[in-house]
Each structure stands twice: as C-alpha cells, then as structure tokens.
Amino acid sequence: MYGLPRSVIDHVIARQGRLHAFSELHGPRCALVVVDMQNYFLKPGFQAEVPLARDIVAAVNAAARAMREHGGLVVWIMTASDGADSSWSILHRGMLSEARSERRLADLAEGSEGYSLWPGMQALPQDLRIIKRRYSAFIQGSSSLEQELRLRGIDTALIAGTATNVCCESTARDAMMLNFRTIMLADANAALDNEVHVRTLANIFTYFGDVMNVAEMSGLLAATRQPA
C-alpha cells in the first residue's frame, strides 16, 4: 500500500488501532494544499526540476476537482524568492553556491517564468493562491496559509505537490503540529526518486498524520457528505 513497508503499516495500526487516523472528510472543512507545482520545479532546464512531478499533474488536478465538488478549498502554494538573499541568508549565502543562489533568486522572483504555475495545472478563479517564503507554508513568517484556513473554519489539510520530502513534508509536519488534521496524498506528491518519496510517506504516516491516495480521498469526501 503506497509502497510502504509492512512494518510501517503494522506500527501505525498498533499505535492507533486502525489503519487511517481520519475516517471522515467534511468537504467544507478541508483544504487541498498544492505545494510548488511551478515551472521552477517541473520544467526541464530549471535547476530545481523534479521530473517525477510532471507525472502527478493529473492526480493533483483530480484531487482539486474532488475538493471543489465537495465544497472544499483548493490552495495553490507558490514559492517566491523576492528578498530571500537577506531574509533567508542561511540558504542563499550558506547552503547554495553563488551561481545557484543567483539562479534561484532570478527564477523564483514573482512574475518570472519559473514562478508561474506549470501550464498543466487546472487552477480556477475561486481557488486561493498564497505565496510562501520558506520550505514550509505554515512556519512563522512564511505565508498567510494558517490564517486563511482558520478564517474559513478549515481544520483538515490535504497535502499535494513537490517535493514530497522537502516543501510538502515540511508543510505537513507543521500543519499537524498546529493541530490541523493532516493527510499526505501518496499519488499526488513527487520527489526526485521514488525511494525518497516512499520513505517520506512512511515518516509522515508514522508520526505526523495520515496517508491516502486521491481515489480514497474522493471516496471519503463522498461518503461523509451530508444530504442536501
């Protein structure tokens, strides 16, 4: 299941008495948080390209359709680099070479080609777009995501996007520790390789929330939906 080792599944069941932590998904209280499905991470030639992220485009779009159908919110998280050379100098001056830092600053600047959503993403006008400044969209100073979700009465964050083990995992961890019901969508996340992707799902499943695929999410939304 999701490529996870049997030992991880057994551990989760032993800990919580069931496979999935969350047996209901109330659409109006859910947000699909789509992380970094931007040209900088999907388009060949950009330095942060995650080739496998192009393979999850259809799954992310399907998750977005299901979320809208059941009254939930779709949020497109967009990384921007403006001012990051000073506000995030640890990354730009310590952990990136000068050349890579300059490329990141240029290619993720608001309005640049790299900043734009990948053309295959089916974003709609009613969806929310939020800029983030760190790997996690929830960490203090990164974005307004927490406030926007609280304002709308949302208590459940379903995480999709790329990379599974960087911005998606960081966002999921912080969501859970801010007391959001947190679910990683296994087939709507992508990393540089599948082994890293599966290890990250295992860590989330073990310590930080639930894991399911898009079909399971859609089925649970439909099963939980209240009659009109």
> What are residue 210's DSSP bridge partners?
183
* Distance, CA of 29 to CA of 101 (rounded, Å): 38
Residues 40 and 115 sit within 8 Å (Cβ to Cβ): yes
**Has residue 188 got a pLDDT over 90?**
yes
**Which domains are seen in the chain, by residue range?**
29-224 (3.40.50.850)
Which token pair is 29? 């209280």
At 69, the pLDDT band (50, 70, 90 cuts) reads very high
138-149: average pLDDT:
97
Percentages (nearest 5) of helix, strand, coil residues in the chain: 45, 20, 35
Nearest partner of 108 among 126, 135, 75, judged by Cα: 135
Strands 181-190 and 156-162 come out as parallel
Kindly tell me if the per-residue pLDDT of 227 is higher than 70: no
Contact, 210 vs 184, CB < 8 A? Answer: yes
Residue 127 has pLDDT above 70, yes or no: yes
Identify which of 163, 211, 199 has the alpha carbon closest to the alpha carbon of residue 37: 163
Residue 154 pLDDT exceeds 90:
yes
| Average pLDDT value over all residues in the chain | 96
SS3 label, residue 81: coil
